Amino acid sequence: MLITGSLMVLVIVAKVTLKEYFAKHLFLAILAWLTFFTLMEMSIYLNVIKTILLSSPTAVLWKLQYHLDKGYLLINSAHSLQRIVFGFGLGIILAIPFGILFGFFNKLYEWISPLANFIRMVPPPAIMPFAIIAFGLGEIPKIFVITLGSFFPIFLATIRGVRETETIHREVIETMGGSNMDVLVHAVIPSAIPSIMTGIRIGFGIGWLVLISAELIGGDSGLGFMIQGARMRLDMATVFMGMGIICIFGVIIDFALKKMERYFTRRKRGGADYIYY
C-alpha cells in the first residue's frame, strides 16, 4: 500500500512539474491504474477481500524482483519472444505472397477459398494436440500453431487490399503498355500495404494469444509455462506477475505495429504516392 501510494504521489508531482512533457491521457491512465492497485492493496490488507486466489500488488512486485534476481523471468521471456518472432515472422512470410497471389488471380482464390475458410474456423489452440502428435514435443508444434494463428488475418487482409486497388491505377499502367507484373509492382502492392499492415497487427494479436496458450498446454519454458507452474503451486503472485509481463510485451509490440499502420494509412490517403510507373 505504501509503495503504490508513493508512486501515485510521484506521478502527480511529475505531472505538475513536467506538464509540458507529460501527456494528459498518459497521466490519467497511470493515475487510474495506481488508484486501482492502491484500492486492491487496501482491500487485501484490511481483509475486505479474503481469498487465496488474489495477490496484493506489493506481493507481485516482490515476486517480480525475485524472478529478476534469479534470472527466471529473463529466460522465460526470451523463450516466448523467440517463439513469437519465428512463428509470427513465418506467418508474415507465407501470408503476404500467397495473399497477393490469390488476390490478384480471382480463379485461384475461388479454388482455395472453401478449404481456407474451413481451416481458419478451427481455433489454433485446438490444433495443438494434433501438432504434438505430428511433430513431436519441442518447439516445432508451438511455432506451427503460432504461424497458423497469425497467417489467416494477414492472408485475408492482403487479399482484401489487393482487390481494393483503384481500377484507374491499373488502367493507367495498362494503357501505357505495362504488363501484369507492372500493375502488381507499381499499383497493387503499394495500394495494399495499409491493409496488409492492419492484417499484420491483427495477426500478431492472435499469434500472441496462441503462443501463451501453446505454452500453457505443452510448454517446458516461456511465460505461459511459468504461469501454469505457478498456478499448480497456488503461487498467485507469480501468476499475476506473469500476466502483467505478457500484457506489457503485447502492448509494446502492438503499439509499434499501430504506429506503422497509421504511417502507411496516411501515405495512402496522401494519394499519388502509389503510382510509380
pLDDT in tens, 102-117: 888 877 877 887 887 8
Cα–Cα distance measured from residue 94 to residue 132, given in angstroms and rounded to the nearest whole number: 22
The residue assigned the cell 524482483 is 65
Percent share of the chain, pLDDT over 70: 77
Is residue 87 within 8 Å of residue 147, measured between CB atoms?
Answer: yes
- pLDDT score for 125: 79
Q: How confident is the model at residue 246 (pLDDT cuts 50, 70, 90)?
A: very high
Separation CA 70–CA 113 (nearest Å): 50
Residue 272 confidence class, pLDDT cut points 50, 70, 90: very low
Domain ranges of the chain: 2-50, 67-274
CA angle, 33 as apex, 32 and 35 as ends, to 5°? Answer: 65
Q: Is the pLDDT of residue 203 over 90?
A: yes
Tell me what the mean pLDDT of segment 39-54 comes to.
Answer: 70
Summary mean pLDDT of the chain: 79
Q: What angle do the packed helices 139-163 and 189-218 form, to 10 degrees?
A: 160
Report the alpha-carbon distance of residue 196 to residue 203 in Å, rounded.
10
Its CATH class, for the domain covering 67-274, is mainly alpha
